[in-house]
Amino acid sequence: MKLTFLGTGTSTGIPAIGCDCEVCLSSDARNQRRRASVYVEAGDTQVLIDTPPDFREQALIYKVRHIDAVLFTHSHADHIFGFDDIRRFNSIQDAVIPAYASTSVVADLRRVFDYIGVDPVPGVYRPRIEYREFNGTPLAVGQLDVQPLLVEHGQKETHGFLLHSDGRTLGYFPDCHRMSDAVVDALRGVDVMILDGLRHRPHATHMTVAESVALLKRIQAKRSYITHVGHDLDHGPTEADLPDGVFLAYDGLILDW
Measured at the CA of 176, the angle between CA 170 and CA 243, to 5 degrees, comes to 65
Residues 231, 240: Cα–Cα separation, whole Å: 17
Residue 157 in contact with Zn ion, rule: CB under 5 A: no
Give the containing element (helix H, strand E) for 47: strand 45-49
Closer residue to Zn ion, CB minimum distance, 146 or 151: 151
What is the nearest approach in angstroms of Zn ion to the Cβ of residue 153?
Answer: 6
Residues in the chain: 257
> In the range 53-82, which residues lie near Zn ion by CB under 5 A?
76, 78
Number of residues that bind Zn ion (CB under 5 A): 8
Residues 191, 210: Cα–Cα separation, whole Å: 21
**Adjacent-strand bridge partners of 97:** 129
What is the nearest approach in angstroms of Zn ion to the Cβ of residue 46?
Answer: 22
Among 33, 164, 177, 231, binds Zn ion (CB under 5 A): 231
Piece of the chain touching Zn ion by CB under 5 A; list 86-94, 112-120, 223-231, 241-249 = 223-231
What is the nearest approach in angstroms of Zn ion to the Cβ of residue 49?
Answer: 12
- 3-state DSSP call for residue 220? coil
Closer residue to Zn ion, CB minimum distance, 37 or 169: 37
176 close to 207: Cβ distance less than 8 angstroms: yes
Residue 24 in contact with Zn ion, rule: CB under 5 A: yes
Residue 25 in contact with Zn ion, rule: CB under 5 A: no
**Adjacent-strand bridge partners of 34:** none
Task: Map residues 171-190 to x or -, x wherever contact with Zn ion holds by CB under 5 A.
Answer: ----x---------------
230 close to 198: Cβ distance less than 8 angstroms: yes
**Adjacent-strand bridge partners of 131:** 99
Residue 254 in contact with Zn ion, rule: CB under 5 A: no
Residues near Zn ion (CB under 5 A) are 16, 19, 21, 24, 76, 78, 175, 231
